[in-house]
Amino acid sequence: MTRASIVHVALAAAASAALLAAWSSFGEETHATRQYLVVLAIIGGAGCAVFGWAVPRALRTPAAGWTAVVLGTLAVVTVVAFWSGLPPILAAGAAALGWAQRQSRRGQLALALGALAVIADLVVYLGDRTSAF
């Protein structure tokens, strides 16, 4: 993966996480802006950690598959805290590393975990949004 492709994946992940957070935050009546800004800070910090440190570091080592699986697992686990914006960031990191290692079982597992996390995150957001009505 090139640096430009990592940047594109990071921006897409941050944008999707921010959009989901906005959809969730501004559906509520009180403190929506403050809540949204806190979630944006979490998304920004996580994005910097994943795409500024973990992904580039993993791509330079032979253990990229393990890092991808760890990010994918964290993405699935953080779906319970869907409001934090972490699942899309972690899932995108797992998918980027998984794609780079797609010939290995770990890469394929990371791609599957990333996809599962994104789907689960969307389902939870939809469930949360529909229960608010």
- The one-character DSSP state at 104 is S
93 vs 57: CA distance, rounded Å = 12
Place of tokens 């979630």: 39
Q: What is the pLDDT of residues 60-116, one digit of tens each?
A: 998 899 999 999 999 999 999 999 999 999 999 999 999 999 999 999 999 999 999
Asked whether 55 and 93 are in contact (CB, 8 A), the reply is yes
Q: What is the DSSP string of 59-105?
A: HTSTTHHHHHHHHHHHHHHGGGGGGGSHHHHHHHHHHHHHHHTTTSH
Provide the token pair at 40: 């944006």
pLDDT at 31 over 80: no
Residue 44, class by beta-carbon neighbours within 10 Å (0-12 exposed, 13-18 middle, 19+ buried)? middle
Provide the pLDDT for residue 132: 57
Q: Summarize pLDDT for 33-73 with one digit per residue, the tens.
A: 888 999 999 999 999 999 999 999 999 998 899 999 999 99
Residue 102 · residue 108 · CB < 8 Å: yes
